[in-house]
């Protein structure tokens, strides 16, 4: 009896322990949890695939850029030695002077002693009479002459400067042309072409400077000729008026006898 009671109590204890450790299983919740996990993993995989595609696209772009760079070159890496001479040429001050500036700087005294570096003979600011008197020359008649001399000197100065610069510019054009011939990338070709155009424009500009200096001299000479004609016309008109006035005055002073002369009879 005691053994039976002991077995029954032990069995009851085991049953009680088993009921306390049992976990309730819900198949629907478990399946939904698994589905949610699978969806999250799928979304993560999709994000990863998208990032992989972006990285692949960037790699393709980088490869394409490197291919472009190998064909056309890097513009920043192209350094040209002929750029600085062109910049220096473009920034230099103009050699020639405007006609207004030349006319404003005329000096009659300089015109009198002007000899064009020995080409002409200076007339001096004074001269001597046969009796030994020293007479100072009047400045007014020499102002127009001084203007022409100024424009002529300006032309010679511009021409000499242009000739020197033309030699240097043509040398730079030859160097740039040789570099263009040996260029290996499109970037180098483009930069060299731009410099070559600039150098050619600078070379042409020397012709414009010479033409401007020539035009100043011609215009001043024309102005002088016009002034000479103007003074001649004014003098001729004045002389005509003075002659007419003199004739009228002479006629009033000396009247002709128009009555017959009477001679006494013997």
Is pLDDT at 71 greater than 90 in this prediction? no
Question: Are 198 and 82 in a shared domain?
Answer: yes
**Entry pTM:** 0.58
Please indicate, yes or no, if residue 92 is contained in any of the structural domains: yes
At 16-67, the pLDDT tens digits run 444 444 555 566 676 777 677 777 777 877 888 888 888 877 777 776 666 6
Under 8 Å CB-to-CB from 192, ≥6 apart: which residues? 80, 82, 176, 179, 180, 183
| 151 plus 63 within the same structural domain | no
Identify the CA nearest to 101 among candidates 225, 218, 224, 216. 216
79 and 165 both lie in a single domain: yes
Task: Give the model's pLDDT for residue 53.
Answer: 81
Q: Is residue 48 part of a domain?
A: yes
Cα of 81 vs its chain's centroid, Å: 19
pLDDT tens digits for range 207-217:
989 999 999 99
Can you tell me the distance from the alpha carbon of 89 to that of 140, in angstroms, rounded to the nearest whole number? 41
Same domain flag for 148 and 188: yes
**Domain limits for position 53:** 41-72
* Furthest C-alpha separation in the chain: 231
pLDDT of residue 7: 44
Residue range 229-251, pLDDT digits in tens: 888 888 888 888 888 888 887 77
* Number of residues that this document lists for the chain: 266
Give the count of domains, the chain.
Answer: 2
pLDDT value at residue 239: 87
CA–CA separation, 124 vs 111, rounded Å?
A: 9
Q: What integer is the mean pLDDT of 126-131? A: 88
For a pLDDT cut of 70, what percent of the chain falls above it? 76
Asked if pLDDT for residue 11 goes beyond 80, the answer is no
58 shares a domain with 83: no
Q: Is residue 32 part of a domain?
A: no
Same domain for 216 and 178: yes
């Amino acid at each position: 009896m005691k053994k039976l009671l002991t077995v029954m109590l032990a069995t009851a204890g085991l049953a009680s322990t088993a009921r306390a450790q049992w976990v309730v299983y819900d198949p629907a919740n478990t399946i939904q949890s698994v589905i949610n996990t699978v969806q999250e993993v799928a979304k993560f995989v999709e994000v990863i695939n998208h990032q992989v595609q972006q990285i692949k696209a960037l790699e393709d772009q980088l490869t394409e850029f490197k291919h472009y760079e190998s064909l056309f070159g890097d513009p920043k890496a192209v350094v040209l030695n002929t750029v600085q001479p062109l910049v220096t040429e473009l920034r230099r001050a103009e050699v020639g002077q405007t006609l207004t500036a030349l006319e404003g700087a005329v000096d009659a005294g300089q015109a009198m002693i002007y000899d064009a570096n020995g080409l002409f003979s200076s007339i001096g600011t004074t001269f001597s009479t046969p009796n030994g008197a020293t007479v100072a020359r009047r400045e007014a008649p020499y102002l127009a002459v001084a203007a022409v001399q100024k424009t002529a000197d300006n032309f010679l100065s511009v021409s000499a400067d242009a000739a020197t610069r033309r030699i240097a510019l043509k040398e730079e054009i030859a160097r740039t042309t040789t570099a263009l011939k040996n260029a290996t990338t499109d970037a180098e070709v483009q930069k060299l072409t731009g410099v070559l155009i600039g150098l050619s424009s600078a070379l042409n500009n020397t012709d414009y400077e010479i033409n401007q200096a020539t035009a100043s001299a011609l215009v001043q000479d024309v102005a002088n000729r016009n002034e000479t004609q103007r003074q001649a016309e004014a003098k001729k008109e004045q002389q005509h008026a003075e002659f007419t006035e003199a004739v009228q005055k002479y006629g009033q002073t000396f009247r002709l006898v128009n009555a017959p002369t009477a001679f006494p009879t013997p």
